[in-house]
């Protein structure tokens, strides 16, 4: 009998933003994005505005002008 595989899915897009919020408490509860010209990670607060990993920083700023 074959063993069942275990699959783990982690939302790393939000993880890196959460780490930044943990390291810098003044960012907690604010929409933040990690990255340069392209968003690598977005906090859940930023995701509420439609910001997500892989989008351009310019588009992210258009969707969420208060993005940090």
Range of the domain at 19: 15-63
pLDDT, one tens digit per residue, over 13-66 is: 788 899 999 999 999 999 999 998 999 999 999 999 999 999 999 999 999 999
Question: Number of structural domains, the chain?
Answer: 1
pLDDT at 7 over 80: yes
Q: What is the pLDDT of residue 63?
A: 98
* CA 43 vs CA 1, 30, 38, 57: distances in Å: 43, 8, 14, 14
Q: Is the dihedral of CA 52, 55, 58, 62 positive or negative?
A: negative
Q: What is the pLDDT of residue 48?
A: 97
Q: Is residue 1 situated within a structural domain? A: no
Q: What is the pLDDT of residue 1?
A: 66
Check which CATH number belongs to the domain holding 47 and give it.
3.40.1170.60
């Amino acid at each position: 009998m074959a063993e069942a595989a275990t699959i783990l899915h982690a939302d790393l897009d939000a993880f890196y933003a959460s780490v930044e919020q943990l390291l810098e408490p003044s960012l907690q509860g604010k929409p933040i994005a990690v990255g340069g010209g392209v968003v690598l990670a977005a906090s859940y607060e930023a995701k509420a505005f439609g910001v997500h990993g892989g989008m351009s920083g310019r588009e992210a700023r258009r969707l969420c002008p208060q993005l940090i």
